[in-house]
Amino acid sequence: MIELLPKTHIDFVKKRFIFFTISGIVALTGIISLAVKGLDLGLDFTGGTMVQVKFEKPVDISAVRTALKGAGIEAGIQTYSETNSFALKVKGTQENVNETADKMNSALKTIQGNSFTEEKRDYVGPVVGRDLSKKALFAIVLSMFGIIIYIAFRFSNPVWGTAGVIGIAHDIFVALTVMSLANREVDLVIVAALLTIAGYSINDTIVIFDRMRENMKKFPKMPMGQLINMSINECLSRTIITSLAVFVTVLVLFLFGGSGINNFAFCMLIGTITGVYSTIFICSPIVYQWEHRAK
């Protein structure tokens, strides 16, 4: 039998303030970054036009920029250099569907000695973006309440569900912070990634909470801190194996999955790390803190 870990006896609860501090610093960085840099919201939310073109021959980004400038278009330009592809985005309210895209097309035709094909064209009108973000947010908030209620029912105490949901919020916030710091765009696919992170995070938390519930029945007299430590240590090998498996899966997608899912995989990578971290270092100590105060 191969074992990744021998039996461990790490005192997680004692070190909780270190991790509260770490998360506090990350949260502060996040707030500053989100306030100063903000999120690079995709067309899905801002509305606007995106055209992705692929040139026959290599072309310099400055040539593309000059061509667009010449037509009076201020576009964000993203390059996929390995395929000579460029994604050109003009964000903001645009009432007419093809206006901007057609202008961009004719501007690009002025680049001499090269031809291009349009690979992708997105137009999102102003109402649609608002509707999409409203619905996604609504669904997320409702499902969080659903989770709190279910866990309160199964664990006969609302603290578990609340701690679990705090963990989810923590993980989503950290993921958004990193997206902001890394200048990566947040679109609907990232919303799907955040949902996956939320699912993964709560799954991980429940597994350890379940072990605590079991140990509380087995050792009713054991002090809370000791019980939490014991439960986390007992589950540690499972936690590491599962998260390693997920991490490797996502890493492969990140490295080789192509431009379509690169952003998604990046966000998921952050999520797998913070998902495990929050369970052990945030959710469990919150339960301890709560029970501690109750006594």
Partner 1 sequence: MTKLHWKLGVILGLLVLSVYLLYPTVDWYTKTNDERGKLELARMRPKKILTLGLDLRGGTHMLLELEAEKLDKKETLNDAVARAIEIIRNRIDQYGVGETPISRQGDRWIAVDLPGISNAQEAENLIGKTALLEFHLVNSGEGAQAAITKVESLDGPPFDKDGNLVPEVAKLMPKGAGLYRADDNGEEGGTRVKYYVLDTSVPVTGAYLENARVETDREFGYPNIAFTFNKEGGKLFDRFTGENVGKNLAIVLDGVVHSAPVIKSRISGGSGVIEGTFTLEEARNLAIVLRAGALPAPVKIIEKRVVGPGLGEDSIRKGLGSSVVSFLIVVCFMLVYYKGGGFIANMALVLNFIILLAAMSYFSATLTLPGIAGMILSLAMAIDANVLILERMREEKHLSKPVAMIIPTAYDKAWSAILDSNMTTWIAAIFLFQFGSGPVKGFAVTLTIGLLIGMFTSVFVTRAVYEFWLTSNPKELSI
> Closest CB to partner 1 among 29 and 242?
242
Closer to partner 1 by CB, 22 or 241: give it: 241
Distance CA 215, CA 204 (A): 17
Query: What letter does residue 41 receive in the DSSP assignment?
Result: E
The set of residues, in sequence order, having a beta carbon less than 8 Å from that of 73 and lying 6+ positions away, is 90, 100, 103, 104, 107
Residue 293 CB, shortest distance to partner 1, in Å, is 25
- Output the smallest distance, CB 65 to partner 1, in A: 23
Q: Is 50 helix (H, G, I), strand (E, B) or coil?
A: strand
Q: What is the Cα–Cα distance from 172 to 267, expressed in whole angstroms?
A: 10
- Minimum distance from residue 136 beta carbon to partner 1 (Å): 6
Nearer to partner 1, 188 or 273 (CB): 188
Q: Which is nearer to partner 1, 177 or 204 (CB)?
A: 204
Q: Helices marked H in 37-98 — which ranges?
A: 43-46, 61-70
* Coil vs helix vs strand at 78: strand
Using the minimum distance from each CB to partner 1, give the nearer residue, 10 or 127.
Answer: 127
The rounded distance, in Å, linking the Cα atoms of 15 and 281 is 9
CB of 81 to partner 1, least distance (A): 15
Closest separation in Å from C-beta 271 to partner 1: 11
Q: How far is the CB of 174 from partner 1 (least distance, A)?
A: 18
Measured in whole angstroms, the distance separating CA 255 from the mean position of its chain's CA atoms is: 17
Question: 1 or 35: whose CB is closer to partner 1?
Answer: 1
| Rounded Cα gap, residues 285 and 240, in angstroms | 19
